[in-house]
Structure 1
Amino acid sequence: MNVPASSRRFQIFSYAVLAYTLAVVLWGAFVRATGSGAGCGDHWPQCNGVVVPREPTVATLIEYTHRVTSGLALVLAVVLCVWGLRAHAKGHPVRGAAVLSLVFMLTEAAVGAGIVLLKYVADNPSIARAYWMAIHLLNTFLLVGAQALTAWWAGGRSRWVMRGQGLAGTLVGVGIAGLLLLGVTGAIAALGDTLFPATSFTEGLQQDMSETAHILLRLRVLHPVLAVGLGALLVAVGNMLARLRPSESVKRSATQLTVLYAIQLGAGLTNLVLLAPVWMQLVHLLLADLVWIALLRLSVAALAEDAPRATVTGGPPARAPAPRDPARPLPP
């Protein structure tokens, strides 16, 4: 497709912002996995009551770096939104996606601030922290998704429509809901790994199955079970969408989703066997974000207003009704 040079520049910038945001997200996971969330105390946006910490500890440096990089991510989101609105006509899908990118960046900052101010960091094992982690994960997915769709539509692709999509629309809804649920359980499992590390695979299983185990440990076992079941569901959704909307874009996106999810399952198994080392948690999270982006790209490609629809096969061709004889009276 022919994309104007100005749109191409905006698309490149959009992908750069997305890549930077993913890096900030991974660093945020590093903060949680290393127990550095309290590195700046319960102060926000200041760090331990000052703008620039003096004689910082390692935990303070890790947390402070995350805050600085997050601030730059917010600036980039503002630029993305303003540029997207100015460079695209009213009604263009980029405009809505760019605005949502900024909105979710602001809510991401608010959730992060809430976690710090409420002291849901470091060794806090409360169930309330698990709720906040789930909200944080959902907002991160929405933020990354909005930025990914901004770049996608900047390439000249058609907007998506939900009305009149039939089974395809239902499949998209099921796939998105399923992956969001899986992401929430993954965030809780990662929190359990951080708070209750095991010294061996056997000990980890015993922790999960113990009747006296902390609720975060009992919930941790749900994630690998759901990962297998929902993985099969996502692959089936991709294959069905590729048949219902047989375009090259849909087929390619379905293939990407299948391959990425297979790699993600392998990474999840590795993470489990290696007892969730920090570096593997970051790889696992990055793959989760890439799977999410692949699912969204598949969804908007399948529900695009210009997406071809599969013809009905296997039955007799539909026949047009025979013309009525004007001399024959109409039935009562």
Structure 2
Amino acid sequence: MNTRKPIFPWVVFGYNILVILWGAFVRATGSGAGCGAHWPTCNGEILPRPEAVETVIEFVHRLTSGAALVLVVALVVWTRRRYARGSLIRWGAGLSLTFTVTEALLGAGLVLFGLVADNDSAARAAVMAGHLVNTFMLLAFLGLTGWWVMFGEPHRLRWRGWRSLSVLLGALGMVLLGASGAITALGDTLFPSSSLVEGFQADLSETAHFLIRLRVIHPVLAVVVSGFILLVALAQFRGERHGPTSKLVLAVRGLVIAQLFLGGLNVILLAPVWMQIVHLLVADLIWAGVVILFGITLGEAAERASDDAVHDPVK
């Protein structure tokens, strides 16, 4: 029997992570207006002349985002050729494509409506938070697709009471935490502090910009959501001692603890660009892990192992 595990879905997942991190680099360096108020062209040109580093950074992001769309389309085609109609894997790939398209539209909206560079409006904050939620949904379905391809899709999905609810609450907490993190990162980018004391004083000032005053929400949410995931959500898998699920639980637990440390370090170091990107990377991985665990709580035993889960191709 062929025991090779198909890795193509994970390649697509990993590549999208890189594109997301580069997008964070675009925001953190203030390069969102590098192509002017033009989309999909850059400064009105298909191949712009790199007269400024911001233009290069933004244009690279657009190129890599376009390649991500091609990869997700390829994933949809790959799953349709390999799995039967009605397969959860096909649904996962299809929804990944949906959120890839909305991801591009949100990015276009940021550019076309001028919600980039030094824009500090409430509209930009709202769209940034929505952009993060859409990114999370994209990673959720890419992650579930990869997991089901590698370890087999369930016969069906069924609600499992408190076991499912606790992990779902952890995932919803991650959504709120991620959205608040996007707003906090925007505030750190637009209103950097020169010292830790100055930052705390600004956070508590009634006259400070709303993006600064909102920064205190994120660390509080981080402690609450992380504690819930560690003490409640992951406790539902206490009986898992072997296999991929137990390894995933261990990975999520380690990442959550590491993220708390990284969050504190991010505050102490005054949110340098490289730390913001590392912080986002770990957040994305935790999110994907929690969503996959939620899928596991809903699914019955997989029909067969990874390559045995392949159905007859649709003709």
Q: TM-score, normalised by structure 1?
A: 0.87
Q: Structure 1 residues 239 and 46, CA, compared in 2 at 3 Å: closer, same or farther? A: closer
Judge which range, 69-78 or 240-249, deviates more: 240-249
Instruction: Give the distance between the partners of 1:3 and 1:102, measured in 2 at CA.
Output: 29
1:101 alignment counterpart: 96
Instruction: Give the distance between the partners of 2:3 and 2:104, measured in 1 at CA.
Output: 34
Q: Structure 1 residues 115 and 160, CA, compared in 2 at 3 Å: closer, same or farther? A: farther
Instruction: Give the distance between the partners of 1:84 and 1:221, measured in 2 at CA.
Output: 44
1:254 alignment counterpart: 249
- Which of 120, 129, 140 lines up with 2:124 in the alignment? 129
Query: Does 1:273 find its partner at 2:268?
Result: yes
Q: Which has the higher contact order (CA 8 A, sep 6+)?
A: 2
C-alpha deviation, 1:4, in angstroms: 5.9
2:308 alignment counterpart: none
- Which of 22, 29, 36 lines up with 2:31 in the alignment? 36
Q: Deviations over 1:65-84 (max 9, x none)?
A: 10011011111111011111
1:325 alignment counterpart: none
Instruction: Give the distance between the partners of 1:15 and 1:252, measured in 2 at CA.
Output: 17
Corresponding residue SS for 1:90: coil
Instruction: Give the distance between the partners of 1:69 and 1:164, measured in 2 at CA.
Output: 38
Instruction: Give the distance between the partners of 1:279 and 1:194, measured in 2 at CA.
Output: 12
- Which of 49, 57, 76 lines up with 1:54 in the alignment? 49
Instruction: Give the distance between the partners of 2:156 and 2:267, measured in 1 at CA.
Output: 40
C-alpha deviation, 1:274, in angstroms: 0.3
Q: TM-score, normalised by structure 2?
A: 0.91
- C-alpha contact 2:187 2:211 (8 A) present in aligned 1: yes
C-alpha deviation, 1:141, in angstroms: 0.6
Q: Deviations over 1:61-120 (max 9, x none)?
A: 000010011011111111011111111112222101110111110000000000000100
2:225 alignment counterpart: 230
Q: Deviations over 1:109-160 (max 9, x none)?
A: 0000000001000000001100000110001111111111111111142338
2:15 alignment counterpart: 20
The one-letter code matched in structure 2 to 1:194 is T
Matches within 5 A, 1:202-213: 202-213=197-208
Instruction: Give the distance between the partners of 2:124 and 2:195, measured in 1 at CA.
Output: 26
Instruction: Give the distance between the partners of 1:245 and 1:26, measured in 2 at CA.
Output: 32
- C-alpha contact 1:31 1:62 (8 A) present in aligned 2: yes
- C-alpha contact 1:208 1:218 (8 A) present in aligned 2: yes
1:70 alignment counterpart: 65
Please provide the CA RMSD for this pair: 1.7
The one-letter code matched in structure 2 to 1:72 is A
Number of aligned pairs?
302
Instruction: Give the distance between the partners of 1:188 and 1:265, measured in 2 at CA.
Output: 18
Structure 2 unmatched ranges of 5 or more: 303-315
Corresponding residue SS for 2:288: helix
Between the aligned residues of both structures, percent identity stands at 50
The one-letter code matched in structure 2 to 1:174 is L
- Which of 158, 170, 183 lines up with 1:188 in the alignment? 183
Instruction: Give the distance between the partners of 1:224 and 1:160, measured in 2 at CA.
Output: 40
1:320 alignment counterpart: none
- Which of 271, 278, 284 lines up with 2:279 in the alignment? 284
- Which of 193, 202, 215 lines up with 1:220 in the alignment? 215
Max Rg structure: 1
The one-letter code matched in structure 2 to 1:126 is S
1:316 alignment counterpart: none
- C-alpha contact 1:43 1:49 (8 A) present in aligned 2: yes
- Which of 117, 126, 134 lines up with 1:139 in the alignment? 134
1:315 alignment counterpart: none
Instruction: Give the distance between the partners of 2:214 and 2:117, measured in 1 at CA.
Output: 19
C-alpha deviation, 1:256, in angstroms: 1.6
C-alpha deviation, 1:297, in angstroms: 2.1
Q: Structure 1 residues 245 and 174, CA, compared in 2 at 3 Å: closer, same or farther? A: farther
The one-letter code matched in structure 2 to 1:158 is E
Judge which range, 194-203 or 249-258, deviates more: 249-258
Q: Structure 1 residues 3 and 263, CA, compared in 2 at 3 Å: closer, same or farther? A: farther
2:293 alignment counterpart: 298
